[in-house]
Amino acid sequence: MRTGTKTASQFDVQRIRADFPALAQTVHGYPLVYLDNAATSQKPRVVIDEMMRFYTQDCANVHRGVHLLSERSTAAYEGARETVRRFLNARSTREIVFTRGATEAVNLVAQTYGRANVGPGDEILITALEHHSNIVPWQMLAEEKQAVLRVAPVDDRGEVILEEFERLIGPRTKIVALAHVSNALGTINPAAEMVRIAHREGAVVLVDGAQAVPHMQADMRRLDCDFYVFSGHKTFGPTGIGVLYGKAALLEAMPPWQGGGDMIRSVTFEKTLYNDLPYKFEAGTPHIAGAIGLGAALDYMTAIGMDRIAEYEHELLEYGTEALLGVEGVRLIGTARKKAAVLSFVMEGVHPHDIATILDRRGIAIRAGHHCAQPIMERFGVPATSRVSLAFYNTRQEIDALVEGLGWVKEVFA
């Protein structure tokens, strides 16, 4: 067994693990080895505590009451927005809209910006490695507007072919939507470069950061994308909360999405005047506790340091890649030169679901399936893969346990 929990950067993973109560449990009598972080991540105690504090002390609606609890609740909610702004290095909190998650954020852009700006014959460009939530909303929009959905292909490593991407962008391209990191393959797209290419042709770019924000710095001023989305629950925060970042000028010009309370300035039966950014896009009572929990999660990651997280995970991914390649019959799906956190693989003679089921009996949680990215599975000629997805609290010992687990899988199928 290869050991060592501290890397060259002296990342104290055991100390970090102690912050995550869920990691300390046993599953089917074995210590939990949680390797399904791309689906959702575990939560540090500080996130749980902050949400508990909201519900036990500060629970009141935001932006409305004049009483103290409402003031505290509003301050915490808006404080979380400022935390997100800082985390993304956005220029203003006006550019930070809370949503239910990445999916809702993409749909918001498709149905507001998209509906207002895409017409018959216009084009929307996505890439072949998108999650369904960055495919289907654009397909729906294209159908509604008789627009054309184009797809930039990937090569055998799972990297978007940049020349093809560039070739597919033309004067009719209104929107380009691309993943920062692929959930199925782990490919890190050269997002800043792709944004530059798209902007040269005048297209607006949405970057899906759902699998990037938990692992690396996502800097809005450096990326210069027009929209960026991510989910709280994949970022060590709660479920039901996510973020849409949008450049203020674009959000300003967009029609609102849902109508209701809080998104208005004034309402008469004849005419409604809409609220300022970002509230124009936050109809109804928001997920206040969720935003507070997300803020705590982002602060937690910042305290560790995003560069240190990325460095540690990179070493762990290299260790895991080598370890999996050492297992006879295992083939990695997705071998991009720049990858984050994901090891998708198939094993000769064993269905991915069987692998995941047997590993679960040993306390090892991985995902099997198409990972809500059926087109990229098809591109690689497989209906499904087994997917190991890492977080900064995972260890080399857990990778060793996985490899040992794959040995049991082989024994079962021998």
How many whole angstroms separate alpha carbon 100 and alpha carbon 173?
Answer: 28
Among 95, 208, 282, 313, indicate the residue that binds ligand PLP (CB under 6 A): 208
CB count in 10 Å sphere of residue 349: 10
Per CB under 6 A, 389 contacts ligand PLP = no
Footprint of ligand PLP on 15-44 (CB under 6 A) = 38
Helices (H), 169-271: 191-200, 220-223, 248-253
How many whole angstroms separate alpha carbon 23 and alpha carbon 397?
Answer: 14
148-152 and 123-127 beta bridge pairing? parallel
Number of residues that bind ligand PLP (CB under 6 A): 15
How far apart are CB 268 and ligand PLP at their closest, in Å?
Answer: 36
Among 74, 83, 211, 389, indicate the residue that binds ligand PLP (CB under 6 A): 211
* Residue 159 or 208 with smaller CB distance to ligand PLP: 208
Give CA torsion, residues 274, 279, 280, 283, to 10 deg. -100
Among 16, 62, 96, 102, indicate the residue that binds ligand PLP (CB under 6 A): 102
* Residue 184 or 203 with smaller CB distance to ligand PLP: 184
Interface characters, 214-243, with ligand PLP (x: CB under 6 A): -----------------x-x----------
30-31 and 330-332 beta bridge pairing? unpaired
Among 210, 294, 342, 346, indicate the residue that binds ligand PLP (CB under 6 A): 210
**One-letter-per-residue 3-state SS of 319-387:** HHHHHHHCCCCEEECCCCCCECCEEEEEECCECHHHHHHHHHHCCEECEEECCCCHHHHHHCCCCCEEE
Among 83, 103, 173, 385, indicate the residue that binds ligand PLP (CB under 6 A): 103
Q: Provide the β-strand partners of residue 154.
A: 160
44 phi and psi, to 5 degrees? -70, 155
How far apart are CB 335 and ligand PLP at their closest, in Å?
Answer: 18
Q: Annotated catalytic, 59?
A: no
The H or E element spanning position 315 is helix 306-325
Token pair listed for 355: 């692998």
DSSP state of 99: E
Per CB under 6 A, 133 contacts ligand PLP = yes
How far apart are CB 136 and ligand PLP at their closest, in Å?
Answer: 11
Only segment of 12-20, 131-139, 291-299, 400-408 that touches ligand PLP (CB under 6 A) = 131-139
How far apart are CB 183 and ligand PLP at their closest, in Å?
Answer: 3
Among candidate residues 39, 59, 372, 403, the one labeled active-site is 372
Binding interface with ligand PLP (CB under 6 A): 38, 101-103, 131, 133-134, 179, 183, 208, 210-211, 231, 233, 372
Active-site residue set: 372
